Amino acid sequence: MDIFTHMFMGVLAGLFTLTILSPEAIILMWVMTFLLDFDVFLEPLQKIRKMYFLSHKAGSHSYIIGIIFTGIVSFVISLFRNVLFLEVWFAGFIGYSIHVSLDLFAASKIPIFYPISKKEFRFIADRAVNPLLAAFSGINLLVLITIFYTLPYYSLFMDLALFYLFIYLIYFGIRAFLRIFVQISLTKNQQYIPGFIPFFYLIYEKNLSDNGVIFKLKKGNAFSSKKQELINQTILKDSNDMTFFELAEKISQEYRFFHKWSSVIPFIHRNEDSVSVVLILAESFSQSIQHKSFKRDVSSYYLSIVFNKNTKQILSKIEGFASFKKWENKNR
């Protein structure tokens, strides 16, 4: 989930507890709703120590870690500010839990019970980062700040907070209902992927057959039973392509996004001396406007690994964000 939505949920929680909790407790609760995403600064340490759970959206995104971390912070605050420890601890953990729960609702896997369990979970009802939701939450923050300095009335703030609460409950409710409703009709080899706009979604499909593996990506919406096929890729069983794909898939687990997301679509490019395997993450699928033709195009996060055709030695590894058209044109 984006940082603006995390922050705005913290603001709403703070407004509804103004007359219940102390200022120190409310401030800590708000800070905890977005502080977790600063674990990106642990990435350099993670690369040195080679510990996955020091990476972004890893060990920090755990309810268990939340209890411990907010307990330590609350103890320090209670000593210096002379406030009730349990009150500050409770508020801090609520804020921490709001952040973890919102990320659990999104597409990226998180280890919510670490260090008791390293298993990662996700409900995948919304995008890991939804620019439309981020913009909406950012605007709402600006609205609240503006009203605070122009019309600082408690009753107005509470009415507006209640209005926003209903809006977000409806939004998240629609997201959750659609995810459950669509998932019921899917088979074990199919996976639901939320779209940027509610009511629209993707279906990733990986079919194993006697001939090989078929990868498909389809687009659907809540108002129609028809599905539009976007991607259809096949890798033949016992082929050289399958060998290089399996090597690339194993290497991809070293990359955080490929470790957390599982809907991979492969593209194989063969040259005279090398083989390039491009792995596309279906969860990061998006639409963009081509400036020259002004036609819709689709793009996604990818990992490109080039192997020596004979020795299978890795020649290069590149990750980034690019158009599907770049890979499709090479396969024609």
176 and 195 part of one domain: no
> Residue 183 has which token pair?
């998932």
Is there a single domain that holds both residue 242 and residue 167?
A: no
Averaged pLDDT score across all residues of the chain: 86
pLDDT confidence bin for 293, thresholds 50/70/90: very low
* pLDDT at residue 307, as a whole number: 94
Give the model's pLDDT for residue 28.
Answer: 96
Is the pLDDT assigned to residue 276 strictly greater than 80?
Answer: yes
Burial per residue of 254-292, b for 16 or more beta-carbon CB atoms within 10 angstroms, e otherwise: ebbbbebbebbbbbbeeeeebbbbbbbbbbbbeeeeeee
The pLDDT > 70 percentage for the chain reads 89
Say yes or no: 63 and 124 in one domain: yes
**Which of 152, 182, 212 finishes a domain?**
182
pLDDT > 90 fraction of the chain, expressed in percent and rounded: 50
Task: Say yes or no: 131 and 267 in one domain.
Answer: no
Which has more confidence, 287 or 54? 54
pLDDT digits (tens, 9 = 90+) for 47-72: 655 676 777 787 889 999 999 999 99
Q: What would the two tokens of residue 242 be? A: 């399958």
206, 213 contact by CB (below 8 A): yes
228 in the same domain as 176: no
Q: Which of 121, 154, 182 is at the close of a domain? A: 182
pLDDT score recorded for residue 288: 45
Residues 17 and 84: their CA atoms lie apart, in Å, by 16
Q: Determine the pLDDT at residue 107.
A: 75
Q: 3-class SS at 151?
A: coil
Mean pLDDT is lowest, of 80-94, 228-242, 253-267, for 253-267
d(C-alpha 22, C-alpha 36), whole Å: 22
Residues 6 or more apart in contact with residue 323 via CB below 8 angstroms: 288, 297, 298, 299
Return the ∠ at Cα 324 (arms to 175 and 217), rounded to 5°.
45
- Is the pLDDT at 326 greater than 80? The verdict is no
Same-domain check for residues 30 and 177 = yes
- Give the predicted TM-score (pTM) of the model: 0.84
Half-sphere exposure of 176 (CA within 13 A, CB side): 11
Count of domains observed in the chain: 2
Residues in the chain: 332
Examine the domain organization and report whether 170 and 23 are in the same domain: yes
Q: Stretch 233-255: mean pLDDT, rounded?
A: 89
Q: Which one of 159, 182, 205 terminates a domain?
A: 182
Are 101 and 37 part of one and the same domain?
yes
Same domain, 236 and 306: yes
User: Could you tell me which residue, 229 or 47, shows the higher pLDDT?
Assistant: 229
Q: Note whether 116 and 216 are same-domain residues.
A: no
- The Cα–Cα gap between 35 and 73 comes to 12
Among 8-12, 66-70, 137-141, 299-303, which is the least confidently predicted range? 299-303
What is d(CA 305, CA 107) in angstroms, rounded to the nearest whole number? 25
Residues 133 and 215 in one domain: no
Residue 219 confidence (pLDDT) above 70 = yes
Report the C-alpha gap between 37 and 25 in whole angstroms: 20
Range of the structural domain that residue 296 is part of? 190-330
Distance, CA of 25 to CA of 78 (rounded, Å) = 10
Q: Report which listed range, 145-149, 168-172, 251-255, 262-266, is most confident.
A: 168-172
**pLDDT beyond 80 at 175:** yes
Tell me: do 14 and 125 sit in the same domain: yes
| Contact assessment for residue 282 and residue 193, using Cβ atoms and an 8 Å cutoff | yes
